[in-house]
Amino acid sequence: MPSVPEIEAASIVVLGSFNPAIFHPLWFKMNQLIRPEEAESAKLEVTHPQISIFSLEWCRLQVDTGRFIVEVTDRASFGLISDLVLGTFTILDQTPITALGLNRSMHFKMDSREKWHAFGHMVAPKEVWSKIMARPGLSSLIMEDPRETPEGFLRVKVEPSGRIDPGIFIEMNNHYNLDKKSVPDMLQILTNSWKDILKKAEDFSDYLLERAEQCETR
């Protein structure tokens, strides 16, 4: 049975060259990318030529001169941030961009401390570390897989959750290098990959948790 995270989030990050001043809720409203009421009730945290941050009910947007980030914590909004990024960059299709990050993170509650330890032991077996440590424990594990087409990598981080105890935090960062690519190329990657990435993150998390469950029962 699929595991359900207690807390989850997804984000889309674009690296490039941006003018934060234009990323105001009114601009999004004017381009019909958000509802008029959302623009009016948006929570403006910072508006400055070098950084702009605002929140809607369902997302937060943060843009500085080198980075565009939109993030949500609600699964129902995962499709909406993809639409927002697609819509924004369809309009700003001449923006110089260098990289795209499609990210998903989840915090899972473990049923017991023993299961929590079993998980840590499964992803990072302790035998090797016992040579130098008395009580080795997993603090953070990052695995990376380079990708040729499109160029980039997949990075997965696993660590004890800082929000739930006992809990596990799993994060996936799908990075795409876009140095010689254009905005339409980026949008194509986003369109082709977003749903798959979200699903892959869930499937892999289920796999890890099931493996840990099996190790614990042995």
Nearest CA-CA partner of 216 in 109, 138, 113, 108: 113
Mapped onto helix, strand or coil, the DSSP state of residue 58 is coil
Which CB sits closer to another protein, 140 or 214?
Answer: 140
CB of 32 to another protein, least distance (A): 6
Which CB sits closer to another protein, 90 or 214?
Answer: 90
Q: What is the signed CA dihedral for 63, 184, 11, 204, rounded to 10 degrees?
A: -160
CB of 48 to another protein, least distance (A): 6
CB of 15 to another protein, least distance (A): 7
Residues 12 and 85: beta-carbon distance below 8 Å: yes
Give 54: exposed, middle or buried? Use CB within 10 Å, 0-12, 13-18, 19+: buried
CB of 134 to another protein, least distance (A): 28
Q: DSSP letters along 102-163, please? A: EEEEEEEE-SSHHHHHHHHHHHS-STGGGGT-SS-----EEEEEEETTTTEEEEEEEEE-SS
Which CB sits closer to another protein, 70 or 208?
Answer: 70
Alpha carbon distance 15, 68 (integer Å): 6
Which CB sits closer to another protein, 171 or 213?
Answer: 171
Which CB sits closer to another protein, 17 or 214?
Answer: 17
Q: By the criterion CB under 8 A, which residues form the site for another protein?
A: 9, 11, 13, 15, 31-37, 45-46, 48-51, 53, 55, 57-58, 60, 62, 64-67, 69, 71-76, 79-80, 82-84, 86-87, 90-91, 99, 101, 103, 105, 162-163, 169, 171, 173, 175, 187-188, 191
Residues 3 and 108: beta-carbon distance below 8 Å: yes
CB of 47 to another protein, least distance (A): 10
CB of 128 to another protein, least distance (A): 27
Which CB sits closer to another protein, 35 or 113?
Answer: 35
Alpha carbon distance 196, 137 (integer Å): 32
